[in-house]
Amino acid sequence: MLVSRSYILAETTWGAVRESSFDVAILPWGATEAHNYHLPYATDTIQCDYIAAESARKATAAGARVIVLPTIPYGVQTGQLDIPLCLNMGPSTQAAVLRDLAESLEVQGIPKLVVLNGHGGNDFRQMIRELQTRLRIYLCQVNWYRIVDGSDYFTEPGDHAGEMETSLMMHAAPELVRPLSEAGDGAERKPRLAGMREGWAWAPRPWTRISADTGVGDPRRASAEAGARYADAVTDRIAEFLVELARIDPAEIYGEANG
C-alpha cells in the first residue's frame, strides 16, 4: 500500500505542491565518508534523511506546514582526503549551494529554511551570517546530534561510527549495518597538545592519524532498541522546534521591536 508522505518533496507531485503552502523548508545535509568496517559511507546522509523525515512527520501531525528537501550527500572532508572515496565539498562550495537553494525558496515565497546538519565537519553558521544580510528568507542551522545527550541512552556514545551512530543505523537502516563482529574498536589517538585535548584549541584532525579503522568510539554495545529511543527523543525536540518556527514571525522571535 502506498503511504503518502506529502511533507517529503522527493515523494511529492506538482499536483500536490501547487495546492499547498509551506512555512518551513528543511534541508538535510549529510556527508559521504568511511564509518569503520560495519557502517556504510552514506551513514551521515541516511541518518539525517531519517531524522528530517520523522521530525517533519511529527510536526505535520501537529499542524505545521513543513517540507523536507532532498538530502545533500556531500560534506566537508578535508581531513579524510587520503581515505578512498571520502568525497569532499568545501565550505565555499557549500555556501554557494546554500545560497542558490535559499534564493530559489525565497522567490517561491517560502519564508523560513532550516539546515538540518548531520555531519560534524559541516558548519553553516558563518554562511548564514553572510547570507542573512542579503536575503529575506529566515535561515537557521540545527545540528541534530547535539540536541539530546547521548550519555542518557548509550554507555559510550562515541564520536564517529560508535555506539550512538551504530544504534541509530540499526534502527533506521538495519539492512545496511554489517555484523558488529566485523567492527573495529574505534580507538582514538588523542593530540599531544593540552589545549586540543581540553577542547579550547582546534585544528582539523588528520583522520588516518587518529584512527586505525576510521571509527572514533566503540560500537560493540550498540542496539536497535537504544537507537529507536534516542531517535524518538531527538525527533520530538526537532518537531517541537519546527512547530514553533512555523507559527512565529521571524521579526518577533526576540519579542516586539523597540520603537
User: pLDDT, tens digit, for every residue of 50-92?
Assistant: 999 999 999 999 999 999 999 999 999 999 999 999 999 999 9
Average pLDDT of the segment spanning 187-196: 97
- Taking only the tens place, the pLDDT of each residue in 147-165 is 999 999 999 999 999 999 9
- List, in order, residues 6 or more apart from 216 with CB less than 8 Å away: 158, 159, 160, 161, 162, 186, 188, 210
CATH number for the domain formed by residue range(s) 19-252: 3.40.50.10310
**Residue 226: Cβ within 10 Å count:** 21
- Taking only the tens place, the pLDDT of each residue in 226-239 is 999 999 999 999 99
The domain segmentation of the chain, as residue ranges, is 19-252
- 259 pLDDT exceeds 60? no
